[in-house]
Chain A
Amino acid sequence: MKRTGVYGIMAEFDSVHTLLHAANRVREAGYKRIDAYSPFPVEGLAEAIGFHHDEVPLVVLIGGLIGGLTGYLMQYWISVVSYPVNVGGKPYHSWPAFIIVTFEMTILFAGISAVLGMLALNGLPMPYHPVFNAPRFAFATKDRFFLIVFSSDPKYKPTEVRSFLESLQPRSISEVPD
């Protein structure tokens, strides 16, 4: 990939507290396209960077509905159309007997859609990501916390962003090449 531009400006922080504080300040300053990276889940960070909702639940709902319908219709087709067997004089279409498999298929499809939907919406697998160009980013998996303002942000002006981030007591600031 050609390194034509700048992906964003990244600040490195020492602690959860300074990261949360910085994320809140950056969001309040009006920056919309920001992201944060930490070695472990941080409570309140999603809200601090203005992350409101995602589409995974919708994918799971659709997956569950498809699973349930598949399960029910499959049993209907087997018991009524393809190979009808008279069991204890009950009707071929005995819905109570179909419920368990319908339920299991709902759970199975919902579970699989949760995993695949999460991966797809995150754009994974992703062999290349610009944030790894930041010099000290490897510490994000160890004991450092990072906050980035993307260059695609409507308010993005390199010097302003840099000086604003500097006011938030970061450990270091770096420009991330694309």
Chain B
Amino acid sequence: MSAAPMRNLDLMTPPVVKTIQQRSLIIGLVFGGIAALGAWHQADEFFRAYLMAFMAWLGVTLGSMAILMLRHLTKGAWGMVIRRILGAAMRCVPLMAALFIPLLFGLRRLYIWARPLDAMADNHLREHLQEITKTYLSVNGFVIRAVFYFAIWWGLSFFLTQWSAEQDHPPMRDNSTRFKALSGPGLILYGLTITFAVIDWIMSIDPSWISTIFGLSFLIGQVLSALCFAVVVERILFRYKPMSELLKPEQVHDHGKFMLAFIMVWAYFSFSQWLIIWAGNLPEEITWYMRRLHGGWGYVGLFLVLFHFAVPFVLLISRPFKRDITRLVWLAAWLLLMRYVDLFWVIEPNFSLTFNITWLDVVVPIAMGGLWLAYFFRNLSAMPLVPAYDVFAVEVLEVAHD
């Protein structure tokens, strides 16, 4: 048993990370150019796709931060081995803040409360909106709250990164007390801010509809996206040193268990929302599901039940499947796609009664993803893959017995 400094294992990321970073940037710029043309000609469709892409990549960013804080509170080798992957994803908060700005130009296209004349013309909305738009749903309020959310997320990410970076250099440090003191309140803050953010950015597209579990179902979706993303990245890095030396089947097993737990929580939240609204059957609530179960949208919903929950659930029951990174990675990649389909099913029916998908719904998330990945891999190569001078790094750096 020996810790990193004695093992002479280079913990920096392999050169392939630079290559992926460059290719991601090229894809991001090319698709970004195509998407910009779309923004010019089909602005309505562009902003819908942009909102979905934004929520998808924000999910990986914030979900990574949440799993990282969870790791600081609970410890364990499963978290140590993906800690810097999560950290690099978390440090994309400034990029997401920058990518939020274009949304402000689409407010009037996305949100009925930003178009008072349309809102007043809608009999159903008139009584609700008069109060709400004066007090809460105004453009100023929307912007100020967004600044507030991003400030909190950036603050958390800043301290978590600073303290982690200290552990790259001697002497050996135990920062766990500081990490815990921040992560406990941090997770609560994350839960609250994401709930309010989702109310502002998604639920307010249909301002007369409310669901109190809505924020939580986004939260679990973000955490699931982040975990799947970390598994995909760890698989890519597993082909090269140092990850090929660090990653053990036990840790992959834990990642698989988390994946199973998260899809079950997602199913639980989604089903609870549906059951309560179905049982109540009130006109102002059930309309949300009427839209999403008719006009072709029902098939998307059924697809999600089967391929976001049932099939992954059955696969993840298997122990050998969870322990084998080369197989688990395919499910992780699939679930990342399913996360986008889920966002599509939640957001897009607000704008169309019948099933409707445009080329922008495909191009915009790829464009944003390219930029996001380029930024992510830049962050990843900036720090070693394991903080070697964390006293707990031994968990993954020690040689397995025999």
State the A residues within 8 Å of B (CB).
Answer: 17, 20, 43-44, 88, 90, 96-97, 99-100
Contact = CB atoms under 8 A, between A and B. Distances in A.
Nearest to B320: A53
A96 B281 contact: no
A44 B278 contact: no
Nearest to A44: B402
16 contacts: A17-B401, A20-B402, A43-B401, A44-B402, A88-B279, A88-B281, A90-B281, A96-B274, A96-B275, A96-B278, A96-B279, A97-B275, A97-B279, A99-B271, A99-B275, A100-B275
Nearest to A97: B279
A94 B402 CA distance: 58
Interface in B247-284: 271, 274-275, 278-279, 281
Nearest to B271: A99
Contacts of A90: 281
A20 B401 CA distance: 11
B79 to A, nearest CB: 20
Given A17-B401, A88-B279, A97-B275, 8 more contacts: A20-B402, A43-B401, A88-B281, A90-B281, A96-B274, A96-B275, A97-B279, A100-B275
Nearest to B281: A88
Contacts of A96: 274-275, 278-279
B86 to A, nearest CB: 26
A88 B277 CA distance: 13
B283 to A, nearest CB: 13
A157 B309 CA distance: 54
Contacts of A99: 271, 275
Contacts of B271: 99
Contacts, number: 16
A88 B282 CA distance: 11
B275 to A, nearest CB: 6
A96 B402 CA distance: 53
Contacts of A43: 401
A71 to B, nearest CB: 15
A96 B278 CA distance: 8
Contacts of B275: 96-97, 99-100
A20 B274 CA distance: 53
A150 to B, nearest CB: 26
Contacts of A44: 402
Nearest to B275: A96
A149 to B, nearest CB: 22
Interface string B265-306: 000000100110011010000000000000000000000000
A44 B401 CA distance: 10
A34 B401 CA distance: 23
Contacts of A88: 279, 281
A96 B60 CA distance: 32
B182 to A, nearest CB: 34
A90 to B, nearest CB: 8
Interface in B219-242: none
Contacts of B279: 88, 96-97
B281 to A, nearest CB: 6
A44 B275 CA distance: 45
Interface string B89-114: 00000000000000000000000000
A97 B277 CA distance: 11
Nearest to A48: B402
A99 B271 CA distance: 9
B107 to A, nearest CB: 36
A100 B402 CA distance: 47
Contacts of B401: 17, 43
Contacts of A97: 275, 279
Nearest to A87: B279
A43 B281 CA distance: 53
Nearest to A90: B281
Contacts of B281: 88, 90
Interface string B359-402: 00000000000000000000000000000000000000000011
Nearest to B272: A100
A120 B136 CA distance: 62
Nearest to A24: B402
B45 to A, nearest CB: 34
Nearest to A21: B402
A20 B400 CA distance: 14
Contacts of B278: 96
B26 to A, nearest CB: 45
A99 B278 CA distance: 13
A17 to B, nearest CB: 8
A17 B402 CA distance: 9
